[in-house]
Amino acid sequence: MLYTENLEEIIFHRHEMFESDEFIVLSGYVGPKPIERLQYLPFHSKIIYGMYGEEGIKRPLHNSLIDIQNAIDSVNIFYSNLPVHSKCYVWRSKGQIVHALIGSANFSKSGLTTPYREILAETTHDTFEPLNKYIQKVLNNSVSCLELDSTQTIEQITTVESECLLSLLGPNGEVQNAAGLNWGQNPANHTNANDSYIKIRTQDIKNYPKLFLPKQVNPTKLDGRGRMRRHNDSIEIIWDDGVCMDGLFFGNQTIDNVIYPKQVGSFAHYAEMGKYLRQRLNVPDGQPVQRLHLDAYGRNTIGVSLLSEGVYKFDFSITGKPKETTGANKEITVLEEEIAEMEAGRQKDATRSAEGRREKKRQRQN
């Protein structure tokens, strides 16, 4: 059998068809979200990140995998020292393969949820033994993710070429009232006031074509006019503070006759990102976000960069970034500066007065 869609559900329910006590994934690239889901399987799982031997692993992704490894006893994560780009999904019983799928789909949200982009196929019984030997060879040349320290991961150095700054402001320089971070503030269209998305502008796509890929046609879904719909691509988001969430590129915009996504948000609940960002901005749950909140926080952009295939880092940190002084904050800052100048002037006057008194005292004594 050959499979081209619903790959994630096929993988996570395959054990129901065969008696197995172990699940092994060998994947060129991996994402944290499918690995987290392994905790619900009724046996132990091993995950091998194949391309570590050639490309290493960026620190934010490594830290997320470490957190999963420490939290889930039934999962063991390995990094292959051999550069391996293959994708193998193997179910074993007492050390022997009882079922296997191989193909092009990485063990990530992006690799498993985009219809027709990747495939997986069942292997025949005569391949079980050589496949078992192949996987054992890779395992013998792999290390546990726990064996790496920070010096053995790749420090992600973001540059203007690798990190796209997505603005949280509208065209008028303010946070939009019923779009963007405040998408859910329109009660006519949404049931959750925290629903949010981040706008992807035409220039963002033109400047960073490797970050924002064209949308694929989904031939199994038609719109109201009988035309094939474009598929919304699932991604995995790792925030600068280590929080992970499922994400989605959605909406349509045409650039040079190619359809690209127009927004990015959390999935399957758009409110997850909105609630998360409100917590970081100290905005009460369900309340609108305003420009003054972003000014007080210190930035009005989110840096987007690629960690691995389908796995993105979203940076909302303010470390090393000067706090903006616009709007209400600018007035407060100017007032503080005026007060400081007045205080400094008073101190200088007091110093001069004290020096004058001491000089007069010395003259009298003489």
The string of pLDDT tens digits covering residues 315-347 is 999 975 443 433 333 333 334 444 345 444 554
DSSP letters of 292-329?
Answer: HHHHHHT-SEEEEEEEETTEEEEE---TT-PPP--THH
User: Same domain for 104 and 179?
Assistant: no
pLDDT in tens, 148-160: 876 667 655 555 4
pLDDT at 283: 96
User: Same domain for 185 and 274?
Assistant: yes
- Residue predicted with more confidence, 223 or 193: 193
User: Same domain for 170 and 309?
Assistant: yes
10 Å CB burial of residue 240 (0-12, 13-18, 19+) is middle
pLDDT at 323: 38
User: Same domain for 8 and 85?
Assistant: yes
pLDDT at 150: 62
Residue 8 has pLDDT above 70, yes or no: yes
pLDDT in tens, 243-284: 999 999 999 999 999 999 999 999 989 999 999 999 999 999
User: Same domain for 77 and 184?
Assistant: no
Please state the domain count of the chain.
Answer: 3
In 141-254, alpha helices (H): 202-207
The label of the residue with tokens 């970034």 reads 321
User: Same domain for 144 and 174?
Assistant: no
Mean pLDDT of 298-315: 95
Residue 258 belongs to a domain: yes
Residue 170 belongs to a domain: yes
pLDDT in tens, 35-81: 999 999 999 999 999 999 999 999 999 999 999 999 999 999 999 99
Q: Where are the beta strands (DSSP E) in the chain?
A: 2-3, 22-27, 44-49, 75-80, 87-93, 96-103, 120-122, 142-144, 164-167, 198-199, 217-222, 228-230, 234-239, 244-250, 253-255, 258-260, 263-266, 301-308, 311-315
Q: Which residue range forms the structural domain that includes residue 194?
A: 164-315
Task: Work out the end-to-end distance of the chain between its first and last CA atoms, rounded to an integer number of angstroms.
Answer: 110
CATH number at residue 117: 3.30.870.10
Residue 350 has pLDDT above 90, yes or no: no
Q: With pLDDT > 90 as the criterion, what percentage of the chain qualifies?
A: 73
For the four alpha carbons of 8, 9, 12 and 13, in that order, the dihedral sign comes to negative
Q: Are 35 and 68 in contact (CB under 8 A)?
A: yes
Residue 302 belongs to a domain: yes
pLDDT at 353: 52
Residue 324 belongs to a domain: no
User: Same domain for 305 and 201?
Assistant: yes
Residue 234 has pLDDT above 50, yes or no: yes
User: Same domain for 131 and 58?
Assistant: yes
Residue 346 belongs to a domain: yes
pLDDT in tens, 85-102: 999 999 999 999 999 999
Cα angle at 21 between 20 and 22, to 5 degrees? 100
User: Same domain for 121 and 250?
Assistant: no
Q: Are 120 and 10 in contact (CB under 8 A)?
A: yes
User: Same domain for 223 and 346?
Assistant: no
Residue 135 belongs to a domain: yes
In whole angstroms, give the CA distance from residue 277 to residue 271: 10
In eight-state DSSP terms, residue 277 is: H
In whole angstroms, give the CA distance from residue 168 to residue 175: 7
pLDDT band for position 228 (50/70/90)?
very low
Q: What is the mean pLDDT of the chain?
A: 85
User: Same domain for 94 and 211?
Assistant: no
pLDDT band for position 356 (50/70/90)?
low
pLDDT at 195: 95
User: Same domain for 268 and 208?
Assistant: yes
Residue 157 belongs to a domain: no
pTM: 0.77
Residue 284 belongs to a domain: yes
Which of these ranges, 115-119, 161-165, 320-324, has the smallest mean pLDDT?
Answer: 320-324
